[in-house]
Amino acid sequence: MNTIFDKIWDAHTVAIVPDGPTQLYIDRMYCHEVTSPQAFDGLRARRLSVFRPEKIICMPDHNIPTLNQDKPIRDEIARRQVETLYKNAEDFGLTCYPIGHKKNGIIHVVGPENGLSLPGMTIVCGDSHTSTHGAVGAIAFGIGTSEVEMVLATQCIFQAKPKTMRITIDGTLNEGVTAKDMALYLISKLTTGGATGYFVEYAGEAVRNLSMEGRLTLCNLSIEMGARGGIIAPDETTFNYLKDKEFAPKGAQWDAAVNYWKTLKSDDDAVFDKELHFDAADIESMITYGTNPGMAMPVNSTIPDVGEIGQKALAYMDFKIGEKLLGKKIDYVFLGSCTNGRIEDFRLFANYVKGKKKAENVIAWLVPGSWAVEKQLREEGLDKILIKAGFELRQPGCSACLAMNEDKVPAGKYVVSTSNRNFEGRQGPGARTILAGALVAAAAAVNGFITDPRTNRQKS
């Protein structure tokens, strides 16, 4: 009667504090430059070493520029944070993939694509979107700086066991509807707090039919409806994706691992604390209209009545109840982030813009999630399609997702963004963010205004 979450959690339980949290063993921790410095300083103050350095992977991603990465970082704070990460990794004997390294990129893209994140693992990082890694069939969640220090010192963490929720999406997604649309649809239905206190398992035909890239997008956004994390049971899609990845098991060890991974699914009689069911046919291409990911609607819909609480968000966006956003002029498009910076996203975007031209009024930032993604899109000739359409590729990094680097949207400007959050100022002070998937972003980029990619295409 166990869920997949229960099976992995129980297998990693070291001890349970009476009337308290669980001491949980952690298989993998990722460290970036923003949340780790104080944790390493804490180790030094306590004269502690890293308990299991082989379990820790470091790389800068948040602050790094997406142009001229071969030159020193111009922003002093960003440069110091990156240099501090390098020094901490060296001092404590940790693996680090620096700027420009072939394995550098956004940590939540690099982990799965190299087989560092595997089914049955427990994975943490000082970043809320660690939930991404649940797509491979792992328990993955973000932690705070003090918890990063705890894992560095002990390879364990104290955590209250979350409740379990299963979200089943039956049926087949409509043409042109992506995993990002699925996620925004769910968040709009549950709201940004609807899954608070739960770890979500995604199930159903529509989920099983997603590629690994799509699954990573879906689990990435679990945190945006308040969930502790999201997970999808590993299957042949998972195994095919991970096979021959550099850090995945090889030979007989691979066969043994797959046999174990096949047991990582919820039992037929598993009991969840909450069950929700949705029909894939009801999901359309989505956009947001407010300042949290739950304020989302079909791209061809009108802004609903948001009540008094939502008025502040609409005022910030300069939108009105009952307004259609189709045809709304936009200024920027951002393709990238740990949500939509993978090869599938660039394929979707390139396929749409092929034979078209970028709108003159739009500034577009196309940022691969890793150097591996950048290499693959060039091998597939996507770069040529994009360049011919008037776009240019930037270098890997978190980029405009959170504007901790030079990629900031100016105040008052509208950006159609494939990232994960549309909070006030998230992509630059005063920036107005409209979240969407890669297809909606591509349609906006070539038309210069919000467009339904399923029905309204620029003439070639």
pLDDT digits (tens, 9 = 90+) for 134-170: 999 999 999 999 999 999 999 999 999 999 999 999 9
Q: What is the b/e burial string over 167-183, where b = at least 16 CB atoms within 10 angstroms of the residue's CB?
A: bbbeeebeebbbbbbbb
pLDDT at 460 over 80: no
Which domains, and CATH codes, for the chain? 1-284 (3.30.499.10), 287-447 (3.30.499.10)
pLDDT band with cut points at 50, 70 and 90 for residue 200: very high
Whole-angstrom distance, CA of residue 214 vs CA of residue 372 = 17
Displacement of CA 201 from its chain's centroid (Å): 16
Average pLDDT, the chain: 97
pLDDT at 459 over 60: no
pLDDT digits (tens, 9 = 90+) for 232-251: 999 999 999 999 999 999 99
- Dmax over CA atoms of the chain, in Å, equals 67
Q: How far is CA 433 from CA 104, 290, 413, 436, 452, in A?
A: 27, 8, 8, 10, 17
pLDDT digits (tens, 9 = 90+) for 368-403: 999 999 999 999 999 999 999 999 999 999 999 998
Q: Tell me what the mean pLDDT of segment 320-339 comes to.
A: 98
Task: Find the helix or strand (DSSP H, E) in which 140 lies.
Answer: strand 139-142
CB contact at 8 A, 389 and 357: yes
Whole-angstrom distance, CA of residue 431 vs CA of residue 433 = 6
Q: Tell me what the mean pLDDT of segment 199-220 comes to.
A: 98
Q: Tell me what the mean pLDDT of segment 258-273 comes to.
A: 98
pLDDT at residue number 439: 98
Q: Tell me what the mean pLDDT of segment 97-119 comes to.
A: 98
